[in-house]
A and B are shown apart, each in its own frame.
Chain A
Amino acid sequence: MGYIHVSMDIDRLEQFTAESPDPDAPAIRIAEMRGATKRYGDVLAADNLNLTIFKGEFLSFLGPSGCGKTTALRMLAGFEEPTSGDILLDGEVVNSVPAHRRPVNMVFQHYALFPHLNVADNISYGLRQQRPKPPKDQIDDAVRQTLETVRMPGFGPRRIWEMSGGQQQRVALARALINQPKLLLLDEPMAALDRKLRRDMQIELQSLQRKLGITFVLVTHDQEEALSMSDRIAIMRGGRIVQIGSPRDLYDRPNSRYVADFVGKSNFIDGVVAEIDGPKIALKTPDGQKLQGMAVGQLAKGDAATISLRPEQCSLARKQPSNTQAGMRLPVKIINRIFLGEHTEYLVKTENFGDFLVLVPRQAETAEGRFEPGDDAWLYWQTSSALVLQAD
């Protein structure tokens, strides 16, 4: 592979947030997007993307269909040149370096395996493009090892169409991994797999990433996938990155209603900021009630805002809870109950704020008694668990 000449710039930077394999290692910037923008005619597919990717991390782009995830990935891979802004690899601007001269490999959504080559030849394809060509026995060894890494030993002579979707996916992964790319890009690699297989592959992919220490950039619109696998997630919307952070950050401190809605489930109450008291905010709802919550980000009096409340932070009671027990309480009617094993999910109807989801853990449920659809109950929560976010 024609490697671009690079000078490592090893900055001591703030650690990227989540549990990295070696928390004390300095964070190395492997790739950067600086104001990367891509237009297709009138369509702004990627809008001013700013992002640093650190060595060894597992980063995901998460967002709904058409939000520009693939475009972002294709700019990193070298299939698209940014209309404006820069893409950096190892500190060098690579905007116009074509894909075949970037030390970056991609696992395509539909695998894009070469149908005229067998598994071994597919996997060795990248090595065989290097000049000078590595010796044959070296290539064979690498193929054998990589097949073992993806747990498919002995599959070398197989034809592509003689394999299941899951096996093809492993081959696609092996074909990229064998080149030991600086950056492994994965565009919805699990989209074509069934649920069970997808779960298995997610776990496997994650442990593989930890083991090999290769930097992974995954594109997905499946929030569960992103949450369970990534060190950091970039949430995208309409071509922009709206928030970057660890799964926990995004879940606990979403910076907008959009993120709170996209990462996990949440209940929302819209209103206008009425009082600000340090981090505490009182939100005035359209029907005149005042609800308390904790501010996330900058909010000023009079701003339109939303209270976001995670279902597991809500509780249900038969009798009206006392003031000390609850920060906020509302009378509700139980609409539906879904048994989820560990938890039971209730759908309840409030008088003024629409339907709420409430997640009750098993122990709490036995203590409180079970609610049946149609029952009247009290919904309550702690003020500290209600986040006040910018409305969209």
Chain B
Amino acid sequence: MQPRVKTWLFLMPAGLWFLTMLVLPLVVVFIFSFGERGAAGGYVPAFTLDQYANLPARWAAFRNTLTLAPIGTVVCLLIAYPLAYFLALRTTPKWRTLLLILVIVPFWTSILIRSYAWIFILGGRGLPTLISALGLGDVQLINTPFAVLVGIVYGYLPLMVFPIFVSLERLDKRLLEASSDLGCPPWRSFLNVTLPLSMPGVATGCMLVFILLMGEFLIPAILGGGKVFFVGNALVDLFLQSRNWAYGSAVAVTLVAIMLVTVTAYMRFTRRWAGGRDDVSLM
């Protein structure tokens, strides 16, 4: 058999999967977004831009998603980097395994259960009670953007920690010795060597967390209490409750478009930043 033919045969299952699970639904959603809502809900074929004209009605969802997703990503990064650094460079192998397991464990329980735990912590009888008992005044935590942010950071931290950990773990420690040998004090060696060489991990982690956050709906639903909702919540509402498939599709298409633009821009940026290195993997 020709090697080319063989290659194609091997790629067939993946290709089919890609086509039916990814491309086809996207095409359907794209077509639906120009349609209309039927009298009893669902979709009626048409060609109208009404749904897109109607987008501002869901402005709040877009605003929440587009602020909390980047902020959540950045906060995750700020917490995850020192953690990953500590795990990769400052622990003995025995402790490293143990601590890594501790980072993964929350991942094994359902996000639903973990978020409910946060409802308790941030809710009326949790932290706010403690804060007012300390005489620091009354605060509302649950059902605020802050609560959603806490949930997001909590839920997505491992996804940020792991890629960064891997890139720091792979870092050739002799490079740090070389840097020191050439007269560079430790903190500057971090900036000159460790940080740039862990950028592939940072880029991967940010990408993963950001993309997943853009589609998030569970955490805002549970910790935002219907006051802080994401585009994901709008979609649930439009497809499952009000059964306005056409409008829902328009919202979905817009979300995908925004994601494509931001992710492409981000990739451009990181590639330029990495100085055209081809060993910087972005995903």
Inside 8 A of A115's CB, which chain B residues have their CB?
197, 279
- Does B279 lie within 8 Å of A100, measured CB to CB? no
Inside 8 A of A125's CB, which chain B residues have their CB?
179, 182, 184, 192
Q: How many of chain B's residues have a CB under 8 angstroms from any CB in A?
A: 22
Q: How far is the CA of A64 from the CA of B194 in the complex (A)?
A: 34
Inside 8 A of B181's CB, which chain A residues have their CB?
77-79, 99-100, 104-106
Closest to B196 in A: A116
Q: How far is the CA of A116 from the CA of B58 in the complex (A)?
A: 45
Closest to A159 in B: B277
Q: How far is the CA of A98 from the CA of B105 in the complex (A)?
A: 40
| A276 touches B (CB below 8 Å) | no
Q: How far is the CA of A78 from the CA of B182 in the complex (A)?
A: 12
| B174 touches A (CB below 8 Å) | yes
Q: How far is the CA of A99 from the CA of B184 in the complex (A)?
A: 9
- Mark each residue of chain B from 88 to 114: 1 if its CB lies under 8 Å from any CB of chain A, else 0: 000000000000000000000000000
If A116-B196, A116-B197 touch, whether A110 touches B174 (CB-CB below 8 Å) is yes
If A79-B177, A114-B193, A115-B279 touch, whether A175 touches B172 (CB-CB below 8 Å) is no
- Mark each residue of chain B from 161 to 200: 1 if its CB lies under 8 Å from any CB of chain A, else 0: 0000000000010110111111111101000110011000
| A286 touches B (CB below 8 Å) | no
- Does B279 lie within 8 Å of A114, measured CB to CB? no
Considering residues B179, B181, B185, which has the most beta carbons from chain A within 10 angstroms of its beta carbon? B181
If A100-B183, A100-B185, A125-B182 touch, whether A112 touches B275 (CB-CB below 8 Å) is no
If A79-B177, A108-B178, A114-B175 touch, whether A129 touches B197 (CB-CB below 8 Å) is no
Q: How far is the CA of A181 from the CA of B275 in the complex (A)?
A: 31
Q: How far is the CA of A129 from the CA of B178 in the complex (A)?
A: 12
- Does B183 lie within 8 Å of A179, measured CB to CB? yes
- Mark each residue of chain A from 142 to 183: 1 if its CB lies under 8 Å from any CB of chain B, else 0: 000000000000000001010000000000000110010000
Closest to B174 in A: A112
A interface: dominant SS = loop
Residues 1 to 49 of chain A near chain B (Cβ within 8 Å): 1-2
Q: How many of chain A's residues have a CB under 8 angstroms from any CB in B?
A: 28
- Does B178 lie within 8 Å of A112, measured CB to CB? yes
- Does B180 lie within 8 Å of A105, measured CB to CB? no
Closest to B173 in A: A112
- Does A126 lie within 8 Å of B183, measured CB to CB? yes
- Mark each residue of chain A from 82 to 116: 1 if its CB lies under 8 Å from any CB of chain B, else 0: 00000000000000001111001110101011111
- Does B184 lie within 8 Å of A114, measured CB to CB? no
A109 to chain B, nearest CB (A): 9
Inside 8 A of B179's CB, which chain A residues have their CB?
100, 114, 125
B174 to chain A, nearest CB (A): 4
- Does A112 lie within 8 Å of B184, measured CB to CB? no
Residue from A2, A110, A112, A159 within 8 A of B183 (CB atoms): A2
- Mark each residue of chain B from 198 to 217: 1 if its CB lies under 8 Å from any CB of chain A, else 0: 00000000000000000000
B83 to chain A, nearest CB (A): 23
A98 to chain B, nearest CB (A): 7
Considering residues B180, B186, B188, B275, which has the most beta carbons from chain A within 10 angstroms of its beta carbon? B180
If A112-B174, A129-B188 touch, whether A179 touches B182 (CB-CB below 8 Å) is yes
- Mark each residue of chain B from 128 to 147: 1 if its CB lies under 8 Å from any CB of chain A, else 0: 00000000000000000000
B141 to chain A, nearest CB (A): 42
Q: How far is the CA of A129 from the CA of B181 in the complex (A)?
A: 11
- Does B183 lie within 8 Å of A1, measured CB to CB? yes
Considering residues A98, A114, A176, which has the most beta carbons from chain B within 10 angstroms of its beta carbon? A114
Q: How far is the CA of A112 from the CA of B180 in the complex (A)?
A: 12
- Does B182 lie within 8 Å of A175, measured CB to CB? yes
Inside 8 A of B275's CB, which chain A residues have their CB?
116
Closest to B195 in A: A116
Q: How far is the CA of A176 from the CA of B192 in the complex (A)?
A: 17
Residue from A79, A116, A129, A161 within 8 A of B182 (CB atoms): A129
B20 to chain A, nearest CB (A): 40
- Does A126 lie within 8 Å of B182, measured CB to CB? yes
Inside 8 A of A384's CB, which chain B residues have their CB?
none
| A65 touches B (CB below 8 Å) | no
Q: How far is the CA of A176 from the CA of B180 in the complex (A)?
A: 12
Q: How far is the CA of A125 from the CA of B184 in the complex (A)?
A: 9
- Does B197 lie within 8 Å of A108, measured CB to CB? no
- 5 A-B pairs besides A1-B183, A129-B188 with CB distance below 8 A are A2-B183, A77-B181, A98-B180, A108-B174, A125-B179
Closest 10 interchain pairs by CB?
A1-B183, A126-B182, A129-B183, A112-B178, A112-B174, A99-B180, A129-B184, A100-B180, A116-B196, A106-B181
Chain A residues with a Cβ under 8 A of chain B:
1-2, 77-79, 98-101, 104-106, 108, 110, 112-116, 125-126, 129-130, 159, 161, 175-176, 179
7 contacts between A and B (CB under 8 A): A78-B180, A99-B177, A114-B175, A116-B196, A116-B275, A129-B183, A159-B277
